[in-house]
Amino acid sequence: MFRGRFVHTLDSKGRVSVPTKFREILRAKYDDHLIVTNWDRCLLAYPSEEWKKIEKRLSMLPGFGSDERSCQRFFISGATECTIDPQGRILIPPSLREYAELDKEVVLVGMITGFEVWSKQRWDEEMKRLQANLEKIGNALNNALAKSGP
């Protein structure tokens, strides 16, 4: 499971080091191939095995509604395979860097089956927004956990 958050530096070629803890999970459970795509002001990165599960679920959606079609179009069209190099880095394509406004400092955030890649500035804004809505978010989390059982 991917958890925690790590601040790293994006180099001039668009490479970022995947945190050691995340690489250990990939080595133990998956391989060195990640699928990275755009979503909600950041990038999502999934091991290819987890990505296949997402694609399978998306392929079962009816696809006739414009909202579903637009969501698939945005999410799937941005998906790019990024292989971890021997130094533990991935090369993030220019189009994804531009979408997420990745500059020098980035934050990699564990999200259980994958992780997010944020610009440090956007992450700081997101944390302020989350803290301002903590009570609402906490209630939603409590309700979700109560539904899932022990």
pLDDT digits (tens, 9 = 90+) for 88-132: 999 999 999 999 999 999 999 999 999 999 999 999 999 999 888
pLDDT interval class at 22 (50, 70, 90): very high
CB atoms within 10 A of CB 26: 19
Sign of CA dihedral 22, 24, 29, 34: positive
pLDDT interval class at 150 (50, 70, 90): low
| Whole-number average pLDDT of the chain | 92
Least confident stretch, 11-15, 44-48, 62-66: 62-66
Q: Answer yes or no: are the C-beta atoms of 101 and 119 closer than 8 Å.
A: yes
Tell me the pLDDT tens digit for each residue of 63-95. Answer: 667 787 888 889 999 999 999 999 999 999 999
The stretch 140-144 carries a mean pLDDT of 81
Is the pLDDT assigned to residue 133 strictly greater than 70? yes
Is the pLDDT assigned to residue 50 strictly greater than 70? yes
Quote the percentage of the chain above a pLDDT of 90.
Answer: 73
Q: What angle do CA 124, 6, 112 make, to 5 degrees?
A: 100
* Phi/psi-derived region of residue 40, left when phi > 0, alpha when psi is between -120 and 50, beta in every other case: left
Is the pLDDT assigned to residue 135 strictly greater than 90? no
Structural domains for the chain: 5-119 (3.40.1550.20)
Q: What confidence score (pLDDT) does residue 148 get?
A: 78
Output the six-digit token pair for 33. Answer: 């191939």
Output the six-digit token pair for 45. Answer: 């990165």
128-144 burial: b if 16+ Cβ within 10 Å, else e: eeeeeeeeeeeeeeeee
pTM: 0.89
